[in-house]
Amino acid sequence: MARLFACLLILLLGGCGMAVSEKPMFTAADTAGAPILADGVWLMKDDPACRVDVALPVSRWPACASWVEHRDGQWSEPSGGTMPAIKPLENDILFVGGKIGLMQVGFNDGGTEWDGPTYMFMAFDNPAGGGKLKSIALWPVMCGTMIDYKGAAEQRNAMPVVKQRFPGFDEKCRPASQDVLRAAAAPSRPHPSKMLRFRWVRERLD
């Protein structure tokens, strides 16, 4: 997940059309109906060339594995030291409910046009029926429809550009309200193959 957020920040700095805010759009008061995520190790499945035997201790996983630990509502990531040493994830993460749920991600180190934190938003299908969530497919909430580059060269060389802004977003992709964000979640949905998928794989690191 840490790798995911690093990539998202790069895209954010490039002006790729993601919904963004210089202040949190949601607080703990908005978490009613949000899923409860299972405690343990979560693995991002994003590289077919990176084979991970999840039956092995995390300390024996390959360096290419992208994983985080969720424990009592807190997220941790590899610390870069002796495996499987971890440290708290630097991003502020808040899940909010709804038929399409939202994940608010805060980047606290600035680095954008705003001095201070920056927030972006991911959407997911919120399962009904309760129970602890053990898999999730995420996609970024966009501020409008994007130009569809047809040629491979265009896709390779051009930055994504908003073709038509969704109602309630300004020219910097800032939403006017929570309702604006929620309304943008469904039309932002990409093809399933382009969603970012995480799954719970084990209770403990080793």
Over the stretch 99-151, which tens digit does the pLDDT of each residue have? 999 999 998 765 555 556 789 999 999 987 767 899 999 999 999 987 765 65
Predicted local confidence at residue 117, as pLDDT: 72
pLDDT at residue 24 greater than cutoff 80: yes
Token pair belonging to 192: 């399933």
Sign of CA dihedral 173, 177, 178, 179: negative
Q: What is the pTM of this model?
A: 0.84
CA distance 136 to 73: 16
CA distance 146 to 205: 40
Average pLDDT (68-95) is 87
CA distance 182 to 99: 10
Count of the separate structural domains present in the chain? 1
Sign of CA dihedral 80, 123, 49, 56: positive
CA distance 153 to 140: 24
Range of the domain at 163: 2-202
Residue 180 DSSP symbol: H
Residue 17 DSSP symbol: S
